[in-house]
Structure 1
């Protein structure tokens, strides 16, 4: 009920800003990880490759700063959140709890495209293109609304506001059949960095992750032939401290194991531990980039 109340406030009571920038929202309808950030990054790379000036817009979840441009040389995850520190390696990132105010900052800095990483249920900024991302291995869970299920809002109503959907990874739960005839579907998959995986082969490994679905990271390691002797899951957006790191390395020591995590987790690790931890970069790959270009050029 609390979530529904906040949704109604955002939807009907807050003022919507209409920006002169082209606004692309990469969102979802379920709580937890669906792979939005790698897709937002891929879209940005494609647009930058076309010569456009692109920025990201994020609320900076769990960060203490607001209405700022991210500077990874002086900002930490405690300042701006974890995902913005990843995004800013690709393009500038505006942090703003109110997305409309964030768009104004982007306008002042001369950008042409603004990509919202999340924010499908936020109505403070008018979107030109709204994208819904679905994890092919999870779909929409039991199809029930919070708190009985994972849905942030009614699926059919959400689809009416979306321009197209992206299904990430192999469809193991019939999500494409559920969406068929309701919305255009683009497909793609997450590709892990080959060289990092090669370097981890023939080693014992302890993995850890604090993402929406941490076991997806475990599965990626196992499916690529990595000997994972232990795996530690943390809550999504977990802020790591020295106690966490000592716990992980104590687990690794008896095995002589290497320690590996995700890029999203790595940016939050205390600096003194980073040189002894590997991270696995990933990239989203569309099966057909031309379909994406056509969809975002409408």
Structure 2
């Protein structure tokens, strides 16, 4: 899906107004779904989500939490739907035999940091993970999903995009009315400078913590002063392009595709031909790169394209909040279980 221009705060108003009745119905249904009581897992559960459709940094945040908890001696498993893949699961992701078409691009990225279970029924995924030895569950893109009771929920918000035009899908990018989602969130994490006025909109409703995306230093050094052709199929492609500029790259051309876009051989050939014509190096995101396979032209583009990995730096207070929530949940679980 490619984000319509009118979803942005500065977009045209008439399409949003026309779609508002449909948004009211969908928003109500989503809030009712969020209010359901889910399965209580026998290990702590941390959910990462966002208020809107589109990229806000959920995958890098999940990776950052997986690495932080692993360093503490935990064995975190990621439970996710596997958007863009066709397997309903629950299935343990194996990058050696699974592709983006089967489990989704994000699952392949997350599997580099922690074991991943793709499951449309997240309660079933949780049971599979616990049976495999998980001591902690990280739920990717789960703010609106009620299948599991959560011990901590973090909502990621892009500092530049904010809430777009502030309307609910399909009139805007919100998955449900903001005020109805706030009770489900323990902390909002603003990624990048808050140029969209997020803090003013949320006020004291929920705690706000900062975070920042950083390009990998090695990739940034390789791209400094380089003329590039950027191509991406992510929720907010302008974030990727801003990261390239921050590295000192010169963007000769930029091609934006819908989120989770499946590149075709013809598109791969066009990108390579245009890059050669412009004297530019093709460059893309990690998430897009894992979808470049299954055909010689796609594999040729994958071999030629530079990747710009990014890391999400969570604030110390965010990590402390997560650690306390997990420790508290484990104490509650131990008390409820009683003596062995």
Other-structure match for 1:63 = 85
Given the two structures, how large is their TM-score scaled by the length of structure 2?
0.83
Q: Work out whether residues 37 and 83 of structure 1, in 8 Å CA contact, stay in contact via their aligned partners in 2.
A: yes
Other-structure match for 1:281 = 309
One of 129, 136, 144 as aligned partner of 1:113: 136
Structural RMSD (CA): 1.7
- SS of 1:38's equivalent in the other structure is helix
Other-structure match for 1:209 = 232
One of 92, 97, 106 as aligned partner of 1:83: 106
How far apart in 2 are the matches of 1:143 and 1:273?
Answer: 38
Matched, 1:168 2:191: yes
| 1:69-127 superposed Cα distances (whole Å, 9 cap, x missing partner) | 00000000001001000000000000000111111111111101111110111111111
Q: Work out whether residues 139 and 173 of structure 1, in 8 Å CA contact, stay in contact via their aligned partners in 2.
A: yes
- Residues 249-258 or 88-97, more deviating: 249-258
Between Structure 1 and Structure 2, the one with more helix by share is 2
Structure 1 residue 6 displacement after superposition = 5.5
Structure 1 residue 291 displacement after superposition = 4.1
How far apart in 2 are the matches of 1:136 and 1:5?
Answer: 26
| 1:14-54 superposed Cα distances (whole Å, 9 cap, x missing partner) | 76211112111101111111111111111111101101010
- SS of 1:297's equivalent in the other structure is helix
Structure 1 residue 145 displacement after superposition = 1.8
Matched, 1:149 2:172: yes
| 1:218-265 superposed Cα distances (whole Å, 9 cap, x missing partner) | 122123321111111111001123212101011111122111000000
Other-structure match for 2:8 = none
Q: 1:292 to 1:77 in 2, by over 3 A?
A: same
- SS of 1:19's equivalent in the other structure is coil
Q: Work out whether residues 54 and 92 of structure 1, in 8 Å CA contact, stay in contact via their aligned partners in 2.
A: yes
Structure 1 residue 267 displacement after superposition = 0.5
Contiguous gaps of at least 5 residues in structure 1: none
Other-structure match for 1:22 = 44
**Structure of greater Rg:** 2
Matched, 1:245 2:268: yes
How far apart in 2 are the matches of 1:63 and 1:141?
Answer: 27
Aligned pairs (5 A) from 1:123-202: 123-202=146-225
How far apart in 2 are the matches of 1:11 and 1:193?
Answer: 36
Q: Work out whether residues 48 and 140 of structure 2, in 8 Å CA contact, stay in contact via their aligned partners in 1.
A: yes
- Residues 59-68 or 173-182, more deviating: 173-182
Contiguous gaps of at least 5 residues in structure 2: 1-21, 294-298, 326-340
- Residues 100-109 or 174-183, more deviating: 174-183
How far apart in 1 are the matches of 2:275 and 2:318?
Answer: 45
Structure 1 residue 9 displacement after superposition = 6.7
Other-structure match for 2:337 = none
Q: Work out whether residues 135 and 168 of structure 1, in 8 Å CA contact, stay in contact via their aligned partners in 2.
A: yes
Structure 1 residue 67 displacement after superposition = 0.9
- SS of 1:104's equivalent in the other structure is helix
How far apart in 1 are the matches of 2:169 and 2:264?
Answer: 31
How far apart in 1 are the matches of 2:323 and 2:77?
Answer: 15
Q: Work out whether residues 10 and 124 of structure 1, in 8 Å CA contact, stay in contact via their aligned partners in 2.
A: no
Q: Work out whether residues 29 and 152 of structure 1, in 8 Å CA contact, stay in contact via their aligned partners in 2.
A: yes
Q: 1:140 to 1:36 in 2, by over 3 A?
A: same
